[in-house]
Chain A
Amino acid sequence: MNTPLLQLDGINKSFGPIDVLHDISLTVQRGEILCLLGDNGAGKSTLIRILSGVHKPSSGEMRMHGKAVAFDTPRDASDHGIATVHQFGGTFPLMSIGRSFFVGAEPTKPWGPFEVFDRRKANEIAVREMRQLGITRIDDGNRLVGGLSGGERQALAIARAVHFGASVLILDEPTAALGVKEAAHVLRIILQARKKGVAVIFITHNVVHALTVGDHFAVLIRGAKAADFRKGEKTREEITDLMAGGEAMAELEAEIESYMSSHDGHPPQPA
């Protein structure tokens, strides 16, 4: 049995008197996609922040390759190979692709007595890495990030993380703001990243997207892990029910049913 790449053991987090996460245990394997599902406010964001070093857990243990780790800063987490890509990907819309790809890790070359930024190399690598993830439209690293589509920006951010040796890639709702086609593209990129041996933690509330790429699923409800299952063990309906806490959906269905029975079988008219 391999030691898991990343393991959470009984993670709790509270802000003052408010318990946000309760006894979360998860394992993530190399080359595997873990889908973290949950409704808004279920604690997904807090869990990401703990994983990426923004918050520290109140109690519990994180292990990487079997060894206990603690992150004081986001920098710590990224030094351990954990990269987080946020919903809109690149956050420097007015920087060129090559420049933003290497922010904080600029390639340099000697120029007389100076070390100068090697823009050509930066552009070349950025474009090549994006191509490897299947973005072929981009051929000029001098283009501004803001000119890319949402999916391309995600690809840029993922390519960047993979290039700098991320072993765990946390994707925070990467498909939430995208159209259908673009979302499909991003899902394909996630599969590409997995192929490179990266462990992916894919946060979403879109069950279809999760089922398309996920190997392993965890559902959070009000800060606690409600389910933890592998691909094929649950249907889409079961997962949706779980995420909504079951009740909300059931309530809605009951409401519609009672309306229909009192209105000769007509469903409610849209307002």
Chain B
Amino acid sequence: MNTTTMSAPAPAASTPAPVVAPTISLGTLFRRPETGSFIGLVSVFAFFAVFGGQTFLSASGAASWLNVAAELGIIALPVGLLMIAGHLDLSVGSVVPASSMTVAIVSGHYGLPMPVGIAAALGLGLAIGFLNGYLVVRTDLPSFVVTLATLFAVAGLTLGLSVIVAGSTSVALKADPITKTIFGDFIDGKFEVILLWWIAAMLVVGFILGRTKYGNWILALGGDKVSARNAGIPTDRLNLALYMGSGLCASFVGMCQAILYNSAQVSAGQSFIFNSIIAVVIGGVILTGGYGSVIGIVLGTMTFSIVNQGIYYTGFDANWASLIIGVLLLAAVLLNNTFRSMALTHASPRAKGKTAK
């Protein structure tokens, strides 16, 4: 019997970039959490490529859904981490407009330097995230209820304070050129610069979930809270950090929107509540937690955005998009369930090949 299936037990410090082993086998692929969402993305893309034609496939067509995907994606990533950890965050829907208004009021209405406004907006997101996390940890109430409460409370505060401070529910913001370039410009006249931020967020969140011990903690927390705590994971601090992450990302998107559109509205962002959950669920994360991947969340976000925008390139009435999303969501969840049970039963042929040697 050979107990050393892998020949080099010594830590290989010489290889600086140990990328995930690029093994291609059906078994390995089917065991991945994102297989279902990949199939979903390909079929949705094919559908709109056929019915949307050349304009959908052109650069401007791609830009239209990628821009939507980027804003949604930056929020869906941390929300996805929270869902893997077994929680929800509905409050993103009002953190987006709240931070949007914050940067517009601080830097637009009062004319303070942009960095101050940006810091205030992001600080607000972190604070709301901290509050969510603190309430969830302390009260042990379902996060659905807690974040539903903060969703409404923050929306009310934003509306009330905006009217008191700025006397209006919409505030103009004129960002300086540097800030504009970094957060709210177009590349090639089509692609929003926030796309690059989305890619950065993918790398950071992907690194955390896949490559650090914190990723393991998140999976364990979503798998079984009590066992995770007994294993010595600081679950309270982990929850706080995850909520602050989603607060930060939601406020980042709100801030970028204000800079991009040169103004902020009180009532922008409610759509992010369900859209982020849909993107994450299409991406193969299960609502009860403990399972999911960053690639899946990204694919889910893209799938959602293609349906959302692709409809305008077809001859169909745009009202049908919601129907497609509803059907797609159900199909994706069923598909993901199938692949998950395959992952649970399928032995990896790769490993079998290795021991046979």
A: residues with CB less than 8 A from B are 74-75, 78, 91-95, 99-100, 102-106, 108-112, 114-118, 120-121, 124, 127-128, 131-132, 136, 139-140, 142-144, 146-147
Contacts and interface: CB of A to CB of B under 8 A. Distances in A.
B5 A139 contact: yes
B58 interface: no
B96 to A, nearest CB: 30
Nearest to B288: A94
Interface in B207-224: 207, 211-213, 215-217, 219-220, 223-224
Contacts of A92: 219-220, 223-224, 227, 290
A94 B216 contact: no
Contacts of B350: 140
22 contacts: A75-B232, A78-B230, A92-B219, A92-B290, A93-B290, A94-B223, A94-B291, A95-B219, A99-B216, A103-B227, A104-B231, A109-B11, A109-B13, A111-B18, A118-B11, A124-B6, A139-B354, A139-B355, A140-B348, A143-B351, A147-B345, A147-B347
B6 A103 contact: no
A91 B211 CA distance: 22
Q: Which 7 A-B pairs have the closest CB atoms?
A: A140-B351, A104-B231, A106-B213, A92-B223, A94-B291, A104-B232, A91-B224
B352 interface: yes
B220 A94 contact: no
Nearest to A79: B232
Q: How large is the interface on B (under 10, 10 to 19, 20 to 34, 35 or more residues)?
A: 35 or more
B172 interface: no
Nearest to B211: A116
Contacts of B224: 91-92
Given A103-B227, A147-B345, 17 more contacts: A78-B230, A91-B223, A92-B290, A100-B223, A102-B216, A104-B217, A104-B220, A105-B231, A105-B232, A106-B213, A110-B13, A115-B212, A118-B11, A139-B352, A142-B348, A142-B351, A143-B347
B294 to A, nearest CB: 14
B211 A117 contact: yes
A109 B15 CA distance: 12
B211 A120 contact: no
Given A93-B223, A94-B223, A114 B212 contact: yes
Contacts, number: 109
A106 B219 CA distance: 13
A202 B219 CA distance: 30
Contact of A108 (B4, B31, B213): B213
A74 to B, nearest CB: 4
Nearest to A116: B211
Contacts of B215: 117
Interface in B305-345: 340, 343-345
Nearest to B5: A139
A131 B1 contact: yes
Contact of A146 (B11, B232, B344): B344
